[in-house]
Amino acid sequence: MALHGLAKVRIGVPNVAETIAYYTDFGLRPRGDGVFATRDGGDQLEIVHAPTRRLAELTIAADDPDDIASIASRLRALDLPVSVEHDSLRATEPSTGTPVCVTVRPRLIVDPVPSPTPYNGPGRVERWGRAPFLTRTDPVTPRKLGHAVLGSTDLAAAMRFFTEGLGFKVSDYMGDRAAFMRCSVDHHNVLVMAAPVNFLHHTSWQVEDVDEVGRGAQTMLDGHPERHIWGLGRHFAGANFFYYLKDPAGNFSEYYSDMDAIGEDELWSPDVLHGMAGLYSWGPPPPPSFLQPDDLAALMTGAHSAG
């Protein structure tokens, strides 16, 4: 696959200072001017001002300029305008109006590669003594940006843009209401779901293991119970552990670990999943505010200004 992951998200919010403080607490590394870095992925989040919360830009990583040319050709075949430079292109996803940049970046190299977390099971002892996570005292710091989830008023158009235009692969479907799509070996990097208004549902950030998911959430909730949305649980599609929190602008942010990896496209067949069984395997049931964010009506009223 010529693409190899999400490089960056730019999120527009009306309350920049509060949102910057939230993502600092979340464990992303502030770089100044609303830009944040992950441990492995470099600068992967930027917070900018917007009248209503929105995904202001999505940046996707490609291997080389030939890939940029191929993507530009496919987008033009869909009658979509494209702006091309030597090592990047810009286009607009037509259903949500989200600006998308595809740019040449080196593939992510984790150095040093962390050792697998040892877990004991029935008849299997992988560690002796006390569990090593007990000695972790450093703040939880996300390793990389994993995926972004968008609500779209035209799911078919959004899927066409990402698959036929950019070259994403579909991993699974949620009936005819959503599609999990990937541009890397991760199960999904973009999820688009049918919605009454175009909006950003959440961004997702990979951490080491399920203990870091729990530690990160506990730290975020200490003194801020209003940040809680949903977790701890494990998804069915993607199989990742998750915990969802809410930033001051109303966007959800997810800590996740242990997502399905798809190394060979030929060995993976998309499933059509239905109902809550497709959404999660175990954990508390999702609250209504996860499925329909509390500000959805306000976003619909301000849909024009939100783009």
The mean pLDDT of 285-304, rounded to a whole number, is 86
Distance, CA of 139 to CA of 76 (rounded, Å): 45
The pLDDT of residue 304: 39
CB-based burial label for 263 (10 Å; 0-12, 13-18, 19+): exposed
Q: What's the pLDDT tens digit per position in 232-250?
A: 999 999 999 999 999 999 9
User: Which amino acid is located at 110 in the chain?
Assistant: V
pLDDT in tens, 243-283: 999 999 999 999 999 999 999 999 999 999 988 877 999 99
Report strand pairing: 3-13 vs 169-174: unpaired
As a whole number, mean pLDDT of residues 95-114 equals 92
Q: Helical H runs in 206-287?
A: 210-221, 275-279
Question: Could you tell me the residue range of the domain that residue 226 belongs to?
Answer: 3-106+142-306
Across 165-191, average pLDDT: 97
- Compute the mean pLDDT over every residue in the chain, rounded to the nearest whole number: 94
The predicted structure's pLDDT at residue 86:
84
Q: What percent of the chain has pLDDT over 90?
A: 88
The pLDDT value given to residue 114: 83
Among residues 196, 22, 198, 248, which one has the least CA distance to residue 97?
198
Residue-wise pLDDT for 105-130, tens only, equals: 999 888 788 888 999 999 999 999 99
Does 82 reside within a domain? yes
- pLDDT of 113 reads 84
Stronger pLDDT, 8 or 279, i.e. the higher one? 8
Count of structural domains within the chain: 1
Residue 306 has pLDDT above 50, yes or no: no
- The answer to whether residue 17 sits within a structural domain is yes
102 band by pLDDT with thresholds 50, 70 and 90:
very high
112 lies in some domain: no
47 occurs within a structural domain = yes
Is 46 within the bounds of a domain? Answer: yes
CATH code for the domain in which residue 279 is found: 3.10.180.10
111-119 LR contacts (CB < 8 Å, sep 24+): 114/208, 117/208, 117/209, 117/211
134 occurs within a structural domain = no
Please report the beta strands in the chain, taking only residues with DSSP state E, as ranges in sequence order: 3-13, 29-32, 35-38, 42-49, 54-62, 83-84, 88-93, 98-104, 144-152, 169-174, 178-182, 190-194, 199-206, 228-234, 241-246, 252-257, 271-273
State percent of the chain over pLDDT 70: 98
User: Domain for residue 135, yes or no?
Assistant: no
137 in a domain, yes or no? no
